[in-house]
Structure 1
Amino acid sequence: MNNQEKSAPVTVGETYDVSIDDIAKQGDGIARVKGFVIFVPKTKVGDKVRIKVTKVLRKFAFAEKVE
């Protein structure tokens, strides 16, 4: 198990149902899973979406919206 897996409660390829509760400076929506920040492009505050994690870093992750 590497450090990424220990600190991140999400895994690449997994899907999660989340609420977008903030917007990043770049305009991506921000969701959280167990407090862990996930950036989700093409979303806005208040959206309730299903996401698929595409990349996990130490302090945050990226995901895409799943239709």
Structure 2
Amino acid sequence: MSLEERAKATAKNVEGKAQEALGNVTGDPEDKIEGKTKQGESQVRHATEDMKDNVKEKLD
């Protein structure tokens, strides 16, 4: 599994949480939605990396 890809996914998650929090503070629903979307993208990236790890493990 690529540590770099995991780091990018984690950074995206943190970015999304910050944007969602900003939306909560300012009352901007678009920021809330974009923040949630970024968090979802992060979850997909992590799941993809998990699948890659599982396949690689099975092949080894």
TM-score in same-fold range (> 0.5): no
Answer 1 or 2: which has greater strand percent. Answer: 1
What TM-score comes out, normalization by structure 2 length?
A: 0.24
Q: Identify the structure with the greater helix proportion.
A: 2
TM-score scaled by structure 1? Answer: 0.22
Which structure carries more relative contact order (alpha carbon 8 Å, separation 6+)?
Answer: 2
